[in-house]
Amino acid sequence: MAKRHVAAVVAIGLIAVAGVVAFRTATFKSPVTVDPAAVKLAPSVPIDNVKAAQHLGQAVQFQTVTHQDASQDQLGEWEKLHQWLQATYPAAHKVMTRDIVGGRTLIYTWPGSDPTAQPIVLMAHQDVVPVAEGTEKAWRHPPFSGAVAEGAVWGRGSIDDKGSLVALFEAADALAAQGFKPRRTIYFVSGQDEEFGGTGARAAAAWLKAKGVKALFVIDEGSVVIADNPLTHGKAALIGVAEKGYATLRVTAHGAGGHSSTPPKDTAVTTLARALTAIADHPFPERLDGPAAEMLGGLAAHGSGGIKVAVANEWLFKPLLIKGFAASPAGAAMLHTTIAPTMLEGSPKENVLPEAAIARINYRIAPGDTPDTVMARAKEAVGALKVDLAWEGAPRPPSPVSSTKSEGWKLVAAAAAESSHAPVAPSLVIAGTDSRSLSEVADDVYRFQPIVLSLNGTEMIHGTNEHMTLENLALMTDFYARLMATAAR
């Protein structure tokens, strides 16, 4: 009799849980608001997309490459690009003033009619990464040719980030030519060294701050529209609302030098190896919160099947969601601060014991952690091992997390939804952008490039055969034109 009673109680409990799961799934909605109809986006502006492609091809030809050794930068290439912008976009240059800060960073100002209205800031950097030596012949079109072929513009920087720079000016030139007069002031900020250093963006931030600018929002490169997102089984537009911090930890172990034929029990190298293993075996816990949780909720609301059930009932399935998210390196990086040993130094000769062995560990710091918590965790991991821990350069904390409720979010999200015809959700940018320097200029900094790429397609951005499809270039110009016309009207 007792067994029957227990079985009945269990059955009732299971039925109740199933009912709760079914109800929560049926009523589940996205935690973020995206409503193009409520925003009433401005109509598209006629833009000559053939000319836009030609212009991007020309911009790619300027070899504005930033190197780790800044003395290798060809400063004349930036000057040529600046002159080209003036000559190519006359209507925009009639209504906008230009300032140069930090040496080569451009700030354009399109004055608004209402000085009390918060301005908006749109960003795109001028510099590009080098082409890896020895890969030049692997390109389908030479990396600085700017060839318009096969339905795309080919070359280094066509996506990162001259595509955005050209699209911004195509949009501004078209708006200015048709007589658009903004109510809000519009700023363009184009950094000189986003790929290495970000000094230009910091100079621009100081310039804007000195002018008393407190922007409604800032938008820069970052996340994109993923064509084959597994959560929606199709397209998904991801808008970065935060980016991870960056720090490099130098780990140094000391030992007796000498000849390798008579090694002591512990050497600098073996001590360093134990320290690296200890740190790697002490990872940061994976957390499903913040931008990662909002992204999951925002996309699952447009999905179906098991993923929607699991997200709607996170109280029950959270461990499974974390496990599924962490199955890929990119997914795991969204959930926690990552630890990546990248550089090793030891003996200059194979038969010499080094007196010091050095490793560098690169951390990408998730929101919720700080450089201090990273250092504390590393010290805890190495314990009594005799190693020195120190930052290599100044660590950078994660950016503030921007709102998904504000007017800025509603404008950017609506424009993203309209241009991509895809569900929109916030995300965490695991790399770094120039926009991190503008957090004091605006509470809401968004990181979104309105182009459609497959999950594998993002690999070409710093790689071989980088190219911008003509369709994506048209999407970008339309996005920027409608965003500016809507936000500044």
Q: How does pLDDT run across 464-484, given as a tens digit for each residue?
A: 999 999 999 999 999 999 999
Pair of tokens at residue 393: 């350069």
Q: Tell me the three state secondary structure of residue 418.
A: helix
Please check whether residue 444 is in contact with residue 406, taking contact to mean a CB–CB distance below 8 angstroms: yes
Is the per-residue pLDDT at 150 higher than 80? yes
Angle at 375 between CA 444 and CA 255, to 5 degrees: 145
State how far the Cα of 184 lies from the Cα of 158, in Å rounded to an integer.
30
Q: Tell me the three state secondary structure of residue 64.
A: coil
Is the per-residue pLDDT at 122 higher than 80? yes
Mean pLDDT, the chain, rounded, equals: 95
What is the model's pLDDT at position 233? 87
State how far the Cα of 101 lies from the Cα of 112, in Å rounded to an integer.
22
- With residue 342 as reference, give the H or E element that holds it: strand 338-345
Please check whether residue 448 is in contact with residue 223, taking contact to mean a CB–CB distance below 8 angstroms: yes
Backbone angles phi, psi at 392, to 5 degrees: -95, 100
Q: Average pLDDT for residues 170-188, to the nearest whole number?
A: 98
Is the per-residue pLDDT at 486 higher than 80? yes
pLDDT tens readout for residues 21-76: 676 777 888 888 888 889 999 999 999 999 999 999 999 999 999 998 888 999 99
Q: Which residue has the higher pLDDT, 312 or 362?
A: 362
Task: Note the CATH number of domain 245-391.
Answer: 3.30.70.360
pLDDT tier at 4, thresholds 50, 70, 90: low
pLDDT tens readout for residues 189-217: 999 999 998 999 999 999 999 999 999 99
Q: What fold does the segment set 49-229+402-416+423-487 form as a domain?
A: Aminopeptidase (3.40.630)
Judged by phi (left if over 0) then psi (alpha if -120 to 50, else beta), residue 150 lies in left
pLDDT tens readout for residues 445-457: 999 999 999 988 8
Please check whether residue 422 is in contact with residue 413, taking contact to mean a CB–CB distance below 8 angstroms: no
State how far the Cα of 157 lies from the Cα of 468, in Å rounded to an integer.
9
**What pTM, to 2 d.p., does this model score?**
0.93
Alpha-carbon separation of residue 213 from 135, 200, 222 (angstroms)? 44, 17, 23
Pair of tokens at residue 356: 């010091």
For the chain, domain boundaries: 49-229+402-416+423-487, 245-391
Angle at 267 between CA 262 and CA 269, to 5 degrees: 125
State how far the Cα of 17 lies from the Cα of 23, in Å rounded to an integer.
10
Q: What is the dihedral of CA 372, 375, 380, 383, to 10 degrees?
A: -140
pLDDT tier at 459, thresholds 50, 70, 90: confident
What is the model's pLDDT at position 3? 65
pLDDT tier at 1, thresholds 50, 70, 90: low
Q: What is the dihedral of CA 12, 15, 17, 19, to 10 degrees?
A: -140
Q: Which residues, listed in sequence order, are joined to residue 178 by a DSSP beta bridge? A: none
Is the per-residue pLDDT at 137 higher than 90? yes
